[in-house]
Amino acid sequence: MPKVFCVANQKGGVGKTTTTVNLAAGLAQVGQRVLVIDLDPQGNATMGSGIDKRKLELSVYDVLLESASIAEAKQHSGKGGYDVLGANRELAGAEVELVGLERRSERLASALAAVEADYDFVLIDCPPSLSLLTLNGLCSAHGVIVPMQCEYFALEGLTDLVNTIKQVHANLNPKLQIIGLLRVMFDPRITLQQQVSEQLKSHFGDKVFDAVIPRNVRLAEAPSYGQPGVVFDPNARGAQAYVAFAEEMVGRAARLAS
């Protein structure tokens, strides 16, 4: 049984996709079998894994509408070492089409049941909204990884996400929990970031991951080469931080199981 994690935060540009693809590549490097599911119509996790979103024959859209299985629609990310269930603009239509259908928030969870034996980790890159797509992710997952920048409004922005997670936990998916908050694009020279980081630790305790991802230009350059930063430049500080995070996640996932 794989451990399934959503990478979610309703804000855009906070590092969800970067975290998804680099965690996937980091986990693959330590021998884990990983599936990335791109649930964002922008298709950034797809492109950042070296798969052309414009050339997808089948995508997560077909899986949500139950016209294809994950096994049929997934592809291998060449250099990343993991599989990808890709997405493109078509997925924006699924949002509308799903509304009228039954089990509309449980489509992804049902599809995942069929590939249970194939993976150790499934990572779901969520769109920047608390939409029906994100709901499908949350209904499939054991836990949520929340990347966040240590900025002034960081804590405030968390409230809606935490409330949504509580509601899904209470009504749809009792196994769902917040696994942790991941500090990303961190710059220790900025006093405010250090202060917010301390605040996060005092509010959320061990729900804050030990790994801290620095702001690192190599991580930002990697997607244009269709590679996760971890593969593109393994010696960069950002890449090394994501590998450390992958190791931490292996530990957290093991504790979930017990």
Report the interface residues with ligand ADP, using CB under 6 A: 12-18, 44, 128, 184-185, 213, 215-216, 219-220, 223, 238
Question: Interacting stretch for Mg ion, rule CB under 5 A, among 25-33, 37-45, 188-196, 212-220?
Answer: 37-45
Distance (Å, rounded) from C-alpha 242 to C-alpha 25?
9
Q: Which is nearer to ligand ADP, 20 or 32 (CB)?
A: 20
Query: From the list 9, 10, 29, 44, which residue makes contact with Mg ion (rule: CB under 5 A)?
Result: 44
**Sequence-separated (6 or more) residues with CB below 8 Å from residue 36:** 20, 21, 24, 45, 49, 77, 80, 82, 83, 84, 85, 122, 123, 124, 125
Residue 18 as a binder of Mg ion (CB under 5 A): the answer is no
CB of 171 to ligand ADP, least distance (A): 26
Instruction: Report the C-alpha gap between 16 and 7 in whole angstroms.
Output: 6
Query: Can you read off the two tokens belonging to residue 90?
Result: 């078509």
**Least distance to ligand ADP, CB of residue 8, Å:** 9
240 binds Mg ion (CB under 5 A): no
When CB distances are held under 5 to 8 angstroms depending on the partner's kind, the choice from Mg ion, ligand ADP, none that residue 162 binds is: none
User: Contact residues for Mg ion (CB under 5 A)?
Assistant: 16-17, 44
